[in-house]
A and B are shown apart, each in its own frame.
Chain A
Amino acid sequence: MKIVVPIKQVPETSNVKMDPKTGTMVREGVESIINPLDLYAIEEAIRLKEKSGGQVIVISMGPEKALEAIKEAIAMGCDDGVLLSDKKFAGSDTWATSCVLAHAIKKIGDFDLVICGERATDGDTGQVGPGIASFLDLPLSTFTSEIISIDEGKIQVRRLVEGGYEELELKLPAVLTVVKEISDPRLPTLRGKLRAKGVEIPVWGPQDIGVDEENIGLKGSPTRVVKIFTPKVTREGEMITVNDEKSLEEAVDKIMEFLIKKELI
C-alpha cells in the first residue's frame, strides 16, 4: 500500500484572539499545529501500513514553517514527506489548493489511497479532499468513519451521513476524507522524533509538479475573500440563578414561558 496523506498546518485555535479594531486574528504568539482533524487521517494511514505493509507519504502546501508539521507526522510513524512551498502558491483558494495537491500526488505516483482530514480548522471548507478526487478523476468517500476491508483493488468503507451510515465500495486508487470516529491518533514517540530529524524532505515548487501557473495562487483562484469581520457573539441573554425551591420554580417556569413564546413546544 502506498498512501498519501495531505496535511495542513493551522494556527492553534483553542484560544483564538481577535483584534477588535481590525477584526483579524492575532497571530503573534499563536502556535502552529497540524490541523487536528488531519491526525485521524495520519493515524489511519499508519495503521493500514502496519497491517499490510507499504509506505505513508505526507504532503503539505504552505510556508517553510509547515516543515514542522511534516516532521511531526513522520515522528508519529509516516515514512516520507514533501513540502509544497513557493511564493506562487500563496493566496490559493480551495480550487487552486486542490490543483496543486493533485499535481503533487500525481508526481508521487503509483499510490493506492489518498487520505485527507474532513476539514481544516481555519479555512473550514472541507472542499480540498473532494477537489483532489475531482482533479485526479478518482472515486471518493467523504466523512469516512471506518475502513471495512481492502482487497483485490477495492476498498469498502462506511461513511457518516444524516440519520445513519452508508457503505460504499470504491475501486483503488481512491480518495477518502475521514472523521474522528475512524481512529484514535497516537502521539509522536522519541524514536520517531529522532528518525524524523534525519528524513530529508524535498521542497517542490510549480515547476517540479508541472502545474500551470495560471491555475495556482491568487491568480488561479476563482474566489476572493472580500471582507472579514467578527460576528456578534454575545446575545442579549437573560440569566436566572437557582439557589432555593422558589427560584428553581421560577427558573423552570421561565423556560416554559420561553418555549411557549417561541412556539417551540
Chain B
Amino acid sequence: MGEVWTLAEFSHGKLSSVSYELLNRGKNLAEKLNTALASVVLGYNVKREYIDELIARGADKVYVVDDKNLENFLVEPYAKVLIALIKEYNPEIFLAAATTTGRTLMPYVAVKVRTGLTADCTVLDIEEGTGNLLQTRPAIGGNILATIKTPNTRPQMATVRPHSTKPALPDRNRTGEVIYKKFDEDVFLSKSKYLRFIKDESQQVSLQDAKIIVSGGRGLGRPENFKMIDELAELLGGAVGASREVVDRGWKPYPHQIGLSGKTVSPALYIAVGISGAIQHIAGMQTSENILAINKDPDAQIFKIANLGIVGDLNEILPLLIEKIKAYKKKEAV
C-alpha cells in the first residue's frame, strides 16, 4: 500500500497552518489504511524547524526538495518535481489545500499523472471493503454535496477546503524520517517568471487565514459606515469581508468580496452585517463553523444559516457591540 501524502505549503517563508490541517486529515486516512503519512515540502532554505514541526504534527516521513528555483511558487517547476516524486514513490493518496497554490498545482499535476482530482473537499473518508478514498465536496454554489471516488488510478488526489478541519496538534516526542531529494536544473526550466508579491495593505489579516471574518453588505447604507465593520474586525483580530453590492459600489476593493464571484471562506466565525444572504453570497461562506447575522429584515435569507440572528438596526447594534467588546477586553487585560 502506498503512503498518504500531504503537500506542506509555504507562504512568504513560513509554513502555513493549512499544512497542519492536512496532516490531521491525512492521519485519519493513513490509520484506516494502515500506511505511513508523509508530507512533501518544496521550497528554498527550508528550515529544519519546519520539518520537525511537520513530524511533531503527525508526518512519519517528510520529503524535502530544497532549491533556489523553488523559492516562489511557479506551476511548471513545482509540477515537474511532484510528478517525479509521485512516479518514484507511488503514493495512494495525495492531498493539498484548496488555496490558490493547491488549486493551480494539483490539476496541472493530475493531468500529467493521469489520475483523478476532486476539488475543495470538506469531508474525506475511506470506503470500507475497497479502501477507496471517499471525497465529499460542495458543488453548484453549495446547493448540493457530491461524493466522488477515483477507483482505478493512483494517487487519489484531492484539494481540501482550508479551515474545514482543525490543525493537528504537535507531539514533541514523535520521530520521523526525512528524505532530501535533488533534481537537475532542467527540471526547473519554466516558461514563466516570478516578478513580485504586492501585499494587500488594507488587510491586517488575510481573509483565507482569518479565524473571524466580519462582512458588511449594502445595509450599511454609506461607505463611511464601513468603519464600524473595520473596527469590529480589528477588535476581534479578524479580517474584513464584503458582499458584491458593496464591492460594485466601490466601498471596498474586490479582494474583500465573498461569494460565488469572489472568495470562498470557512472561518470559525462569520459575522454578516446588513447582508441579505443571496445564494451567491452564501455560496462563499456557508461552511463557516459559526455564523452570526445582523439584519433589520426578519425574513432575510441569511438568518436561515445563522447560529445567532439579531433582527435590528445595525446602526444601533454595532456601536454598542464595539463598546462592549472594548470594555470586555479592558477587563480581561487586568
Contact = CB atoms under 8 A, between A and B. Distances in A.
A93 B110 CA distance: 12
A161 B269 CA distance: 22
B187 interface: no
Given A23-B144, A248-B320, A265-B325, A170 B292 contact: no
A258 B308 contact: yes
Interface string A7-28: 0000001111010000111000
A30 to B, nearest CB: 11
Interface string A223-265: 1111111110111111111110001110111111011101011
A131 B286 CA distance: 28
B317 A248 contact: yes
Interface in A118-168: 121-131, 133-135, 138-143, 145, 156, 158-168
B195 A13 contact: no
Contact of A230 (B109, B144, B150, B280): B144
Contacts of B329: 265
Q: Is the interface of A mostly helix, strand, loop or mixed?
A: mixed
Contacts of A168: 74, 192-195
A36 interface: yes
Interface string B209-227: 1011000000000000000
A181 interface: yes
B138 A124 contact: yes
B169 interface: no
B111 A25 contact: no
Contact of B254 (A123, A181, A252): A181
B239 to A, nearest CB: 10
A124 B192 contact: no
Band of interface residues on B: 35 or more
A163 B321 contact: no
A229 B144 contact: yes
A125 B138 CA distance: 10
B145 A163 contact: no
Contacts of A145: 254
A133 B108 contact: yes
Contact of B279 (A15, A25, A36, A131): A15
Interface in A91-134: 93-95, 98-99, 121-131, 133-134
A221 interface: yes
Contact of A143 (B100, B108, B116): B100
7 closest A-B pairs by CB: A242-B312, A222-B116, A125-B119, A223-B116, A134-B111, A163-B206, A130-B107
18 contacts: A94-B119, A124-B119, A126-B107, A140-B104, A143-B104, A162-B100, A162-B206, A163-B199, A164-B197, A165-B197, A222-B152, A223-B148, A229-B144, A231-B138, A238-B307, A240-B309, A252-B324, A254-B308
Given A24-B144, A169-B192, 11 more contacts: A16-B141, A121-B140, A124-B120, A130-B111, A180-B257, A181-B255, A223-B149, A224-B150, A240-B310, A254-B308, A256-B321
